Amino acid sequence: MSSERRQDAAPAGPAGSTGLWLDDGPTRRFLAACWVWGLAALALATLAGWSLLHPELADDRPALGFGRLRPLVEMLLLHGFLANGFFALVHHSTQRLCCAPMAAGLLGRVHLWGWQLALAWATWTVGGGALEPRLLSPAEAPVDLALAGLWTLFGVQLLVTLTRRRQRYMYASLWFYLAATLLFGGLQVTATLASFHHPIFGVPLFSGAADAALQWWYVRNGAGALVVIGLFGVAYDLAPRIAAAPLYSYRMGIVHLWSLLLIQLWVAPRHLHLSPSPGWLSALALAFAFLVWLPSASGIFNLAATLRDGRQGQGEREPARAFLVAALFFFALAAIEEPVLALRRMSAAVGSTDWVEGHQEMLFLGWGAFVVFAGSYWIAPRILHAPLHSPALARAHFWLATLGVLTSAAALRFSGAAQAGVLGALSPDGHLLHPEFTEAVARVEGHRLLHVAGLGLFLAGALVGAWNLLRTWAARPSAYPSIPVTEPPLEPMAIAEEAPAPPAGAVLDGGRRLQVFCTLWWHRRLERRPLRLASWIVVAVGAVAALQLGPLLRAEPTAVASLTPLEAYGRSVYEREGCVTCHTQAVRPLLADTKRYGAISTSSDPVERGPALWGTRRVGPDLAREGGRRSTRWQVLHLDDPRAASPGSLMPSYRRLLERPRDLPRLVQRSGFTKRPEWAADAAAAQAAALTAEFEAQHGAPLLRPGAGAPAALEGSEAIALVAYLQQLGLPSSEIPFSTAASEQP
């Protein structure tokens, strides 16, 4: 710290210095945070995989259950590991590409430390059960709001730096940084708004198809903005430096950026195939899925050709080169798989299975993590001013990480194929060959063990890499040398860019104008005007969002399920314990699904007041029609000992809910009856008493505490609230035994 302060306070520089110095202090801190959060996320991911094999680990330790670990792992991988790595690499390359230090140093410090504090806050709350049932964004609204505000600070700092650059034209990496920052920031704000409830009616601002589409826009396009667009910008900076060669094709970089913004954004609703969402939304995503190869192929070929041109140079021995080449290979595999997964038949076969999880893991670990590793090995000796501790350890890290990704990806795809084969198997006369979901669980146990082994290899490689970089840091000089800025400020251009003369061969005026446009001369203007480039990015993204999401947001609100105070409290317990991580709530229009779960879910079905959970992974059976399918006795005993009630179940015991009393203030808040708390408490108590009496009549005796012989306090527990919620899922209000309409609501 003291050496960095001495660097910033250096009074003079060498000849040609402008009095400005590049500041690599934030880069070092972001890089350290990236590795700390990354190791934590990978360790928790391995633990989450192990908890699927041994669910009893979470019987008395809810924080170790898969339902809470999986959303926490996804959040830490995206916001902790990849986002911090992106910030570090952007701070390093932007200063050098702009020949200017990052502007607004105070904003940068607030962003740096605020981001880490927000992540620590999110980790504490999500691990403790305060989570929203949203993929990649499980933290509650205040945490989302903090992350959105901090990302906005980063966007302001980046944009101001671009306006103060000392290079006339912005290099391709800066285009991608700007696009990723604007898109991810906008969708982070949208995700935050979707977490809030209507100030008068107490219901979410969006529900049904609109909420599902917004959720997948955030998952696909928000995370894609960071993982794909942002990290491709990093790769565009790394590849020429590693290869000591210029970028292969400037025009291909332009095509890559704008095709990402104008084509890939349309594909997000392909995750809603066979769901109650409108058919036109799914068809539109399917159509664009066959064009998504264009941005992927252009970016992969451009970077691979750049690395090929410099393979005889110094970059051949650079550890970062191997990681970047492998990252392009893994991204190519995911890009080839993307249109295949967009097919309805493929979605019907492997949708909601482990296969989809494997596709996401390939992007996060195979592409995203490898780009961060490549960038770390490239910039670490340069920002620490010390040689890499051990190239041999870097090679060991590479092979461990590569073997880990290949092992885990293959295991998840084998597991998904096995799940699809078991759950979709029908006899010649149309009956289910494997009616119980647990039969699929037993079939994939070996694949999931292999997946844990792959994650363990990847974690071992990351530990080797972290040790290598830590030893490099230990060899740093006592004071970091100053890096002066020698470029003078930009002068106004004497002659602005002009369109080239139209070719003589074109017959029609329209053809001539098209040929002039295709020369991409106009992009040179945008490359020296960051505000105008940012405006066009916003226009492009906004147009796609308006065309795709506008009709959904303007549609009539979907009917909202009416819940009693006890059922609303049970829903909060359902979300807190991570049940939404393992169970979907939508029956697909497939014969096997309808025979196993009940009637097909339609857009006219009342939806929960929380987010639509149509596209998540099925670790357990679907619960859309759970209400009334099983007795109250079975539901209570299943919470007490799931593996006794359903042999082979992956669900941990929730026996603690049988002894945990209901929180009255939380009940009133979650049910929305804040103006009549006495009525809400009385209504909840009456319904709990009715369900407890029903259980005792079916069981023949009160529920006993394990080993104590005394009756459990079932009536006043959170368990009976959860049972009340499960017993109304999928039932019309008239069939719910204790509905809001039937109670004496004032």
Show the low-confidence residues of the chain (pLDDT under 50): 1-13, 15, 200-201, 739-746
User: For residue 711, what is the DSSP state?
Assistant: B
Q: Report the Cα 719 to chain-centroid distance in Å.
A: 31
Q: Which residues contact 728 (CB under 8 A, 6 or more apart)?
A: 561, 563, 567, 627, 736, 739
Please say whether the dihedral angle defined by the alpha carbons of residues 165, 166, 169 and 174, taken in this order, is positive or negative.
Answer: negative
Per-residue tokens: 718: 């959170």
pTM of the model: 0.92
C-alpha Rg value of the chain to the nearest Å = 28
Per-residue tokens: 565: 């105070």
Residue with tokens 């929730």: 654
How far apart CA 178 and CA 228 sit, in angstroms, is: 13
How far apart CA 533 and CA 528 sit, in angstroms, is: 9
How far apart CA 642 and CA 473 sit, in angstroms, is: 50
How far apart CA 555 and CA 78 sit, in angstroms, is: 32
Q: What is the pLDDT of residue 746?
A: 42
How far apart CA 724 and CA 668 sit, in angstroms, is: 16
Amino acid at 602: T
Q: What is the pLDDT of residue 4?
A: 38
Q: What is the pLDDT of residue 135?
A: 82
* β-sheet bridge partners, residue 704: 711
Give the residue range(s) of CATH 1.10.760.10 domains in the chain. 565-735
**Among candidates 98, 85, 84, 86, which has minimal Cα distance to 23?**
98
Amino acid at 305: A
* Helices and strands (H and E) in the chain: how many: 32, 2
Q: Report the Cα 324 to chain-centroid distance in Å.
A: 22
CATH architecture of 310-481: Up-down Bundle (1.20)
**Among candidates 718, 604, 627, 632, which has minimal Cα distance to 670?**
718
Residue with tokens 């509905």: 739
Q: What is the pLDDT of residue 238?
A: 96
Q: What is the DSSP string of 248-308?
A: S-HHHHHHHHHHHHHTGGGGGGGGGTTSSS-HHHHHHHHHHHTTTHHHHHHHHHHHHHHHH
Q: What is the DSSP string of 404-435?
A: HHHHHHHHHHHHHHHHHHHHT-B-TTS-BSS-
* Coil, helix or strand at residue 130: coil
- C-beta separation of 458 from 400 below 8 A: yes
Q: What is the pLDDT of residue 559?
A: 59
Amino acid at 265: L
pLDDT per position as a tens digit, 689-742: 999 999 999 988 888 776 666 788 888 888 999 999 999 888 766 555 654 433
Neighbouring C-beta atoms of residue 709, cutoff 10 Å: 7
Per-residue tokens: 582: 């393992």
Which helix (DSSP H) or strand (DSSP E) does residue 78 occupy?
A: none
Neighbouring C-beta atoms of residue 700, cutoff 10 Å: 7
Give the residue range(s) of CATH 1.20.210.10 domains in the chain. 310-481
Per CATH, the number for 565-735 is 1.10.760.10
